[in-house]
Chain A
Amino acid sequence: MAFYVAQFLTGLASAASLFLVASGLSIIFGVTRIVNFAHGAFYMLGAYAAFTLTERFSGALGFWGGIVAAALIIAAVGVLVEMVLLRRIYHSPELFQLLATFGLTLMVEDVVVLIWGPDDLLGRRAPGFKGAVDFFGQSIPSYDLFLIVLGPVVLGVLWLLFQRTRWGILVRAATQDRDMVAALGVNQKWLFTSVFALGVFLAALGGALQIPRDAVNHAMDLRVIVEVFVVVVIGGLGSIIGAFVAAVLVSELNAFGILIFPKISIILVFLVMAVVLIVRPWGLFGRPEAPARRTPGLTVNPWRPLTTNERLVALAALAVAAALPLVAGNYVLTVGSEIAVFVIFAVSLHFLMSVGGLASFGHAAYFGLGAYGVAFLAKLAGLPTIVSLLLGPMLGLLGAAVFGFFAVQLSGVYFAMLTLAFAQIVWSIAFQWVSVTGGDNGILGVWPDKWAATPSHFYWLSLGVAALVVVILRVIVFSPFGFGLRATRDSPLRSEAIGINVKRIQWTAFVIAGTVAGLAGALFAYLKGSVFPDNMGISLSVDALVMVLLGGVETVSGPVIGAIVYKALNIWLVSQTDLSKLVLGAFVVLIVVAFPKGIVGTLEAIMQRGRKSASSASPLLTSRIETAE
């Protein structure tokens, strides 16, 4: 019994830090409507800064002063980020905000390694809380007891801040209706900045307070952000009390999950989240979200199939690509195969997020499932390559059918978070179920049959499949189904009113996208000769998002161009610099801020401007603007 109480107390202590970070994220979301992916990065920066400061200054004052000073310094960094970056994207679509803050996270990961080195750092114990308290034979670290008290204290302070101060009332008002608050003459800019500063302060404090408990390392950002997403989704985005309750719930699930299901402790949390989202899609304490913003300032050009000339150009490009083995060596051909695989992956995500308006943040799950599908079939069942390639993606189809069914019940930010969570479930199964998947060691020796084994043959195979997939998905985009899918994206209300079963259309699109992603993963497994849990990791999901974004989210051909440019750049960068994440992150931020239409979108805009000036401006745009009453 005493053991369980001790376990419960450990859970509560972990909840404190999680609550600090999650409440920060929630406060920021409530006012600015930005889901700050970089929150984990601020948490990590807080931990690193606190490590340096507490090493530098001795004594109790040095320690506690160092913790608070670290949080304040990182909050100042947060203010800088808000003023330089976020102010430019407050009116962008959610997807762009998530991506910009993710780019920031990538940059911070490299900066941290640059400053503090790649090794884990062990911090000082907290002065005054070095010992342990004996509880019926179980020893409980006194620092844990300190954290258990701290959580509710911070909750109380935040409550007072929001109920009793003028600033707090403004924040609450802005959370309910920020346009109204702006109309009342409140300086929005500084309100947003101060809210962001408070949120970042809480995240950095959460990180700083972890140093007596855990080693500081450069991977702690992603781990915490996934947990925090789970917490705010369960508790309800924008609710502080929700963040507190959910932080406790998640920490206790972790603490006891390890005892009951040591193999699937992570899954338990995600299952609870999935159930909450389906029963109460806006979380336990949250309120239903307003419909997502349309992408303002982006093109409203209706899509059209390629003209005959454009088809000839595409065909010529394909012919040139097919001739590559005549001139290129093995390395270039392997790179070429990889690019072809990622073209397939990118067009599959594009189908879901651009055509269907469903931005998945966990699309790598289906890529990885396809890869593992092939590994099982080829390695364990010994099936021939062509059969494995056809059947392997069925695992992706199956995963997409199950997870997609739940995911399409939601939309917007919640859809993004749920897909991310599902991808993490799949990842942890691959990681933890060692007897089947080989765990971290993966499955090795997945090689294609002889006919596809040489680099040139495999290149032709990948290129052929990629071309076929692109053509098929384009046909679907312009088919009645594709129009129905775009209808559900443009206006769910109107779609339902013309007899379209919105959820069923979206689910079908999810399954198609998952199957095609599985096909990309299947080819990838053969290309690399192995599969690993990272084939379904977050960073792969984000790669796909960036490829679509780079090509142009609102174009039909964008993902093909985006995948080629991004993958080539990525492979080249990794070979050139150790700071690839820094460059890549900066690149992502740059696209979002300066280049939101992507490569193809920008080209289309330039060409259209040329056409417009040639044939005198359209009467529709020049006159006929009437005011609504």
Chain B
Amino acid sequence: MSMVPTLLSVEGLTKSYGGVHAVRGVSFDLRAGEILALIGPNGAGKSTCFDMLNGQNIPDSGGIRVLGEETTGRKPRVIWRMGVGRTFQITATFPTMTVRENVQVALVSYGRQLFNLWSSTARYAREEAGRLLDLVGMGAYAGRPCGELAYGDLKRLELAIALANQPRLLLMDEPTAGMAPRERIELMRLTARIAREQAIGVLFTEHDMDVVFEHADRILVLNRGTLIAEGSPEEVRGNAQVRAIYLGEGLVYDARHRDGAHA
């Protein structure tokens, strides 16, 4: 149907802890330049799913392919080298380094210079680091100690770090958690713009339905470890089962969006 290549394909992903099926037979695809949201109530299996995708958890069965290559059960650092960048729910950066150095370390690793004991890191890929920081709007902060940044800026920095290996696929675990409402929209707009420009596929989990319905091209809904719905925001919004699960929790979006359309 489309000539856009499949970046990520997940087949029958399954994981259980003791008798509890955390994730059961989850399958989906993600194409280049597409922004895919993975949503579901607490305990639906989003995190388990995510951890298996980025290599922190090994599935009981099922397969994960990135650009046609099998990544199931591989270490996070190996998956990263295959072109998968990621951000964390709670930012993970290097607080004792400057903002620029944070990006430079990622570039050092990407350039396979980690065991270079002699040259100066300060001069290593300085322009490239600056370009990445400009891209996320952090260029002016390059010389700042990372430990001083406000939370929203840390999230942008993390995005710059995640882009250092020129990823084809970005995995973002609750990218806007802990941010002020206006910052959320800015960050997701930025992410969407970069994804479209560079044809990067983005998979993200999110609790904020405003963010999800505003930015996702397609939405996957998990409940009790199984995919119960998949489709465009409109399709998912109209899905009775999804409504039933989210009743009293997230249905506010619906009314608000309709109001917005009238105004």
A contact residues vs B (CB 8 Å cutoff) = 294, 300-303, 305, 475-476, 478-484, 486-487, 490-491, 493-494, 496-501, 505, 508, 554, 618, 620-621, 624-626, 628-629
Contact = CB atoms under 8 A, between A and B. Distances in A.
Contacts of A476: 117-118
Shortest Cβ-Cβ A-B pairs, 7 listed:
A300-B147, A494-B92, A490-B94, A628-B178, A480-B116, A624-B150, A480-B113
Given A300-B96, A491-B93, A484 B109 contact: yes
Contacts of A491: 92-95
Contact of A475 (B101, B118, B179): B118
B108 interface: yes
Contacts of B153: 624
Interface residues of B, number: 51
A620 B115 contact: no
A621 B88 CA distance: 24
Contacts of A482: 117, 121
B72 interface: no
Contacts of A628: 151, 178-179
Interface in B160-219: 161, 164-165, 177-180, 183
Contacts of A554: 96
Interface stretch (B21-29, B61-69, B73-81, B231-239): B73-81
B54 A497 contact: yes
Nearest to A493: B92
A487 B105 contact: yes
Contacts, number: 130
Nearest to B86: A497
A478 B94 contact: no
B165 A498 contact: yes
Given A300-B147, A480-B117, 12 more contacts: A300-B148, A480-B113, A481-B117, A487-B94, A494-B94, A496-B76, A498-B109, A554-B96, A620-B148, A626-B151, A626-B180, A629-B179
Contacts of A496: 75-77
B2 interface: no
A491 B92 CA distance: 7
B158 to A, nearest CB: 8
B117 A302 contact: no
A493 B101 contact: no
A300 B76 CA distance: 28
Contact of B178 (A480, A499, A629): A629
A498 B111 CA distance: 11
A500 B98 contact: no
Interface of B: 54, 75-77, 80-81, 86, 88, 92-98, 101, 104-106, 108-110, 113-122, 124, 144-153, 161, 164-165, 177-180, 183
A584 B158 CA distance: 45
Given A302-B96, A490-B96, A498 B105 contact: yes
Given A483-B97, A628-B151, A302 B145 contact: yes
Contacts of A625: 150
Contacts of A620: 144, 148-150
14 contacts: A300-B95, A305-B120, A479-B120, A481-B115, A481-B116, A483-B108, A484-B108, A487-B94, A487-B105, A498-B105, A620-B144, A626-B150, A626-B151, A628-B179
Contact of A302 (B75, B97, B124, B161): B97
B80 A499 contact: yes
A198 B95 CA distance: 39
Given A499-B110, A620-B148, A478 B105 contact: no
B121 A479 contact: yes
A624 B140 CA distance: 15
A498 B162 CA distance: 8
Contacts of A486: 94, 96-97
A628 B144 CA distance: 21
Contact of A499 (B77, B146, B147, B183): B77
B98 to A, nearest CB: 5
Contacts of B106: 498
B95 A294 contact: yes
Given A302-B101, A497-B54, A478 B121 contact: yes
**Of A294, A501, A508, A621, most B-chain CB atoms within 10 Å:** A501
Contact of B116 (A301, A303, A479, A505): A479
A499 B101 contact: no
Nearest to B161: A498
Given A497-B80, A498-B106, A626-B152, A301 B92 contact: no
Nearest to A472: B117
A607 B122 CA distance: 23
Contact of A478 (B98, B110, B122): B122
A345 to B, nearest CB: 20
A494 B145 contact: no
A496 B94 CA distance: 12
A390 B113 CA distance: 28
Contacts of A626: 150-152, 180, 183
A305 B95 CA distance: 18
B173 to A, nearest CB: 11
Given A300-B148, A302-B101, A487-B105, A480 B96 contact: no
A362 B121 CA distance: 31
Nearest to A501: B77
